[in-house]
Structure 1
Amino acid sequence: MEYVSRVPAPPLDRFIDDIYCLTGPPRHRRMNVPPMPSAHLFLNLGEPARLWDCDPSVPPAVFTDGWFMGLWTRRFVVEYPARVRLVGVHFKPWGLSPFVDVAATELCDRWVPAGDVWQRSLDRIRNRVGESASATETLRVLEEELRTRLAGQPPRGLDLVRHTGGRLETSHGGVSVGALTDAAGVSGNHLAAQFKSHVGVTPKRVARIYRFARLILSVDARHPVDWAALAHAAGYFDQAHFSREFKDFTGHAPTQYLALRRRFPAEPGFAPDSGPMPAD
């Protein structure tokens, strides 16, 4: 499967980490995806994809056209079709807010059909991309559509969330909520309310996901792993807490995860393999 991505030009880069295309047969059909500090848009230009939540009370979903996902705070499983043709957006945790008219709390830990939120945009992209557009052309069309959707005036409170969220991003979740509120000159309750409005969760939860992402992306299965040192470097100071959170987020204990990563090594330079793991 080919992965082509790029960071969009300003001002989109304030809200989006990258836009990308996935095409071709996947190495693994089912992938177990841990929480990452991103919201998502997936536009499916090929066969249907399937999703399973780790919460057994949530029914699985089949998507033909695409889907939005807000910040995801638990793992899920995606099943690709035999041949993939998918274009996607990795939004920053607060990045969906200016592009959709849906409350962040309604998208957090949920997948919503793209047509329910972006039907006209979805139709325009499909009409312009067609059956044989290159990855470069597809990304150009998507970026143009994103630019037209970006509101001129940011929603109230988004600048505060973007600024404080940016500090969490650059520190990998290493800045305390108290330090964020002191620097911003607002109360903890106000900051939490603005994060819930634009991200769907509190800044403390966002910091937790950034911290875990730093750890999981730093695992090098080619060499022995000192889990205690890795956890400490990522900001975990309680080993029992680290072990519980690792299993919650991946479905595996750290040693089990490492064994799987060695069995199914990530393809160098292939971002979709950097956090997710084969589910079977």
Structure 2
Amino acid sequence: MEYVGRPPASPLDRFVDDIYCLTGVPHHTRMNVPPMPSAHLFLNLGDPVHLWDSDSPAQPAVLRDGWFTGVWTRRFVVEYPARVRLVGVHFKPWGLSPFIDVPASELRDRWVPVDDVWRRSLDRIRNRLGTAASATETLRLVEGELRTRLAEAPKRGLDLVRYTGVRLEACHGVVPVGALTDAAGVSTNHLATLFKAHVGVTPKQVARIYRFARLILSVDARGPVDWPELAHAGGYFDQAHLSREFKDFTGHTPTDYLALRRRLPAEQGFPPDRGPMPTE
């Protein structure tokens, strides 16, 4: 499967990490996706994608056209079709806020049809993307769509959330919440309220997700892994704390995760495969 992506130009780069095209035959059909510090827009130009919430795994959602997902605080499972043709946007945790008219908390741990958020837009967008001659043109069209939807003036509190979020991103979540509120000049409760509105979760939860993202992306399953050292470098209290977080976010112990990755390695050079992992 081929991943072609690029970061957008300013001012979109304040809210979007990258826009990408995902095409071809998947290396692994079903993937276990842990919480990652991002929200998403998916535009599907191929066969349906199935998604399972780890809280209710019996009934998958069948997603055919396009959907948003907010920040996830628990894992979910995605099952790709035999051939994939997806266009996506990786938003920063606060990045959806200036493009939508609903609180980000309404998208937390959920997938929501595009037309529920952007009224009567999906068919027009998919028709334009379907006629694009190349991945480069597709990315340009999506970037143009985002530019037209970027709010001219920031919502109340978004600048403060973005300022705090950038700090969390830079230190990979390893910062006391008290230090964030001191730097922001607001109370803990006020900052948490702003984060729930613009991110969907509290600063503490965002920090936890950034910390775990750094951990899982630093694990090289091809060689020995020094878990105590990773725990220390990642800001965990100890290895037991790291193990609990790992189990909560992936459903695996660190040892089981290593065994899985060694048996079913990530696709080389394929960005979405670095955090998500194949299911059994």
TM over 0.5: yes
Pairs within 5 Å for 1:96-107: 96-107=96-107
CA–CA separation in structure 2 for the residues paired with 1:114 and 1:59? 21
Change (3 A) 1:84 1:127: same
Change (3 A) 1:50 1:139: same
Pairs within 5 Å for 1:1-280: 1-56=1-56, 59-131=59-131, 133-280=133-280
CA–CA separation in structure 2 for the residues paired with 1:194 and 1:86? 32
TM-score, normalised to structure 1, is: 0.97
Q: Is the 8 A contact 2:43 2:126 kept in 1?
A: no
What stretches of structure 1 move > 3 A for 4+ residues in a row? none
- How many percent of aligned residue pairs carry the same amino acid? 79
The CA RMSD measured in Å over matched residues stands at 1.3
CA–CA separation in structure 1 for the residues paired with 2:20 and 2:220? 25
Tell me the CA shift for residue 251 of structure 1. Answer: 0.9
SS in 2 for 1:43: strand
CA deviations 1:116-135 (Å, max 9, x no partner) are 11244323322222256311
Gaps of 5+ in 2: none
Gaps of 5+ in 1: none
Q: Is the 8 A contact 2:27 2:267 kept in 1?
A: no
SS in 1 for 2:267: coil
Instruction: Give the AA of the match of 1:228.
Output: P
CA deviations 1:207-248 (Å, max 9, x no partner) are 000000000000001110011111111110132222111011
SS in 1 for 2:118: helix
Tell me the CA shift for residue 267 of structure 1. Answer: 2.2
Q: Is the 8 A contact 2:22 2:84 kept in 1?
A: yes
Q: Is the 8 A contact 1:121 1:145 kept in 2?
A: no
TM-score, normalised to structure 2, is: 0.97
Deviates more, 1:108-117 or 1:131-140: 131-140
CA deviations 1:177-196 (Å, max 9, x no partner) are 11111111111111111001
